[in-house]
Amino acid sequence: MRIEGIEAIAIDIPLKRNFGGSTYDVLKRSTVITRLRTAEGIQSNVYNGDNRADGLEIVRLIETELAPLVVGQSVFAYERAWQAMFERTIPNRDRKLLLEAIACVDCAIWDVIGKATGRTVHELLGGYADEVPLLSIGGYYIDGKTDADIASEMLLYKKAGIAACKFKVGGLTPEEDAHRVRVARDAVGPDYTLAVDANRGWTAPDAIRFARLVEPCDIAWFEEPCRWTDEAAAMARVRAATSIPINAGQSEITVEGIRRLIDAGAVDIVNYDASECGGVTDWRRAAALCAASGLTMSHHEESQIALHLIGAIPHGIYVECFGDPARDPVWHQMWTNRPPVSDGKMAVPRGAGFGIELDDDMMARYRVN
């Protein structure tokens, strides 16, 4: 069964307000849909990523640089296909963007493998758990946002049945953000899972000061606490200074980057993102490395992919979503057969491959290529 062709579709959906974190703005929801087909008529239907600046360039990379490398190849030779695509990273270029394009093709290959064999990707990878706890990203910085607004936002996620929230910090002083976290904790009560995410917003001393202020709030993890320049060493300092587990990995684009975080003693939890790192094929390598190192794994966003990955391994703990419908119309509307949330968890989709069905009308309305 050989790959016959690949089409990529860039999607941009404007948002009604800014859903930014400490170091970035979010004014639209973007993704890339990849349709890889075989001569037998099997076709992938999978979407990856939220690159709000370069969707059209990702499409170009898929269709002009990567497709010629894999068309004609066996769909089951995913390691060979991945290595051929990864060789394109050797020249001096934007490797992060290329890895995102590789992720689209690699995930499409796994989707087709599942459809060809009548198996879910979850089953192909190990099939450990049939459902996974769901976490909503939240705590957005919005001008004029009050403590009452923070409490209302947190209760929205709790009332939706979502098991946890990853709360944005790192955009204010440690003291100001610690106050916001205490408001969030008081709103949801002591039994709700609350994590924090600084998006690389602080120096190590500020991150340590913040961590000590919020330790009484029973924080599940502190994600990406330190600035990018010497991140692994800085996170190791923070990890040594607090009882809160440290989570990172979403900003890495290779399994070697995950290995460096582990070697530095910088992490307790790894949230490697298959849509950033080159797809399922490389994510599997990181999962094996984390298992051997005694680390647990979450996954940065992308629950349509992450349910299959995190659910496949015994050391997976959470998948992420945007619980506010205004933040992610793809998750809430375009993904038409998304599993319901039940008791804080989502079931792994049962359809072959990734089992994703999309709203064709909505896709046609918001495609930009």
Task: Determine the distance from the C-alpha atom of residue 22 to the mean position of all C-alpha atoms in its chain, rounded to a whole number.
Answer: 18
pLDDT band at 292 (very low <50, low <70, confident <90, very high): very high
Across all residues in the chain, what is the average pLDDT? Answer: 97
Angle between helices 255-263 and 231-241 (to 10 degrees): 40
> Do 225 and 169 form a contact (C-beta atoms < 8 A)?
no
Mean pLDDT of 102-129: 98
Domain borders along the chain are: 3-119+358-366, 123-347
Mean pLDDT of 192-208: 97
pLDDT for the residue numbered 106: 98
Mean pLDDT of 134-155: 96
pLDDT for the residue numbered 20: 78
- pLDDT, tens digit (0-9, with 9 covering 90-100), for 325-344: 999 999 999 999 999 999 99
Mean pLDDT of 139-167: 96
* Residue 114: how many other CB atoms lie within 10 Å: 24
- Distances in Å between the Cα of 113 and the Cα atoms of 6, 68, 129, 217, 338 are 15, 19, 20, 45, 21
CATH 3.40.309.10 holds for 123-347: no
What end-to-end distance do the CA atoms of the chain give, in Å? 29
pLDDT for the residue numbered 66: 98
CA–CA dist 140, 225 (Å, integer):
16
- pLDDT, tens digit (0-9, with 9 covering 90-100), for 47-99: 999 999 999 999 999 999 999 999 999 999 999 999 999 999 999 999 999 99
- pTM (2 d.p.): 0.96
> Do 333 and 31 form a contact (C-beta atoms < 8 A)?
no
116 HSE (CA, 13 A, CB side)? 21
pLDDT for the residue numbered 19: 85
> Do 348 and 120 form a contact (C-beta atoms < 8 A)?
yes
Mean pLDDT of 152-160: 96
CATH 3.30.450.40 holds for 3-119+358-366: no
Residues 6+ apart with CB under 8 A from 127: 120, 311, 312
- pLDDT, tens digit (0-9, with 9 covering 90-100), for 239-283: 999 999 999 999 999 999 999 999 999 999 999 999 999 999 999
pLDDT for the residue numbered 25: 86
> Do 369 and 54 form a contact (C-beta atoms < 8 A)?
no
Angle between helices 204-214 and 231-241 (to 10 degrees): 30
CA–CA dist 9, 151 (Å, integer):
38
- pLDDT, tens digit (0-9, with 9 covering 90-100), for 347-361: 999 999 999 999 999
Token pair, residue 59, equals: 């499409």
Kindly report each contact of residues 325-332 with a partner whose C-beta sits within 8 Å and lies 24 or more positions away, as own/partner: 326/15, 326/16, 326/17, 326/19, 327/15, 327/19, 327/26, 327/29, 327/137, 328/29, 329/13, 329/15, 329/29, 329/362, 330/11, 330/13, 330/29, 330/31, 330/47, 331/303, 331/304
Give the residue carrying structure tokens 């290529």.
369
* Residue 16: how many other CB atoms lie within 10 Å: 9
CA–CA dist 317, 132 (Å, integer):
7
- pLDDT, tens digit (0-9, with 9 covering 90-100), for 1-27: 999 999 999 999 999 888 877 777 889
pLDDT for the residue numbered 365: 97
pLDDT for the residue numbered 155: 97
